[in-house]
Amino acid sequence: MKKILSFFAVPAIMASASLASYIPPTYVLRVETVKPGLLRLTNTSTQPIYVKSFILRNHTVNELGKRTGEVDKILVDVNAAIAPGHSVLESIDKYPYRTTAHTELVQWNERRKVHRDGLLICFINDFNHNVFVTPNGHLPCPK
């Protein structure tokens, strides 16, 4: 019986380690959908950051989930300093979209510096969970 239990325990440990490795290791800004038109930005770094703005690109998809080639760019002006571990809510009323599995970062600006990475985008899926996309599917957004 112990051999059978140890046989199942090893794959479970390996699976949990491989899932955790898909979280971007150096992201500093997490964007989550609170509800359509409202995003929560969280500073996950150990330093205060100033977010001037960022651009998201929403890809339009058909009913099968395949991209149609149409793209909506969403410019979000934040102009706020965010302390480590803190969040700000940002309304995107001009764009009544929510972030989706087909949303990607174009860039985000921090005063004079333009970043093209360092952002983790979480979205509310059909089951009302905040998740992000990995090569193996959706995973819960880290807290």
> What are the extents of the domains in the chain?
25-140
In angstroms, the CA 61 to CA 102 distance is 8
- Predicted TM-score (pTM) of this structure: 0.59
In angstroms, the CA 61 to CA 55 distance is 19
Buried b (16+ CB within 10 A) or exposed e, 40-54: ebbbbeeeebebeeb
One-letter amino acid for residue 35 of the chain: K
Secondary structure element (H or E) that encloses residue 100, with its range: none
Res. 130 pLDDT band, cuts 50 70 90: confident
Mean pLDDT for all residues in the chain: 67
Q: What is the pLDDT of residues 81-110, one digit of tens each?
A: 888 899 999 887 655 455 554 454 545 556
Quickly list DSSP for 7-49: HHHHHHHHHHHHHHTTS-TT--EEEEEEETTEEEEEE-SSS-E
Instruction: Report whether pLDDT(3) > 60.
Output: no
Task: Give me 61's structure tokens.
Answer: 């998809």
The answer regarding whether domain 25-140 maps to CATH 3.30.420 reads no
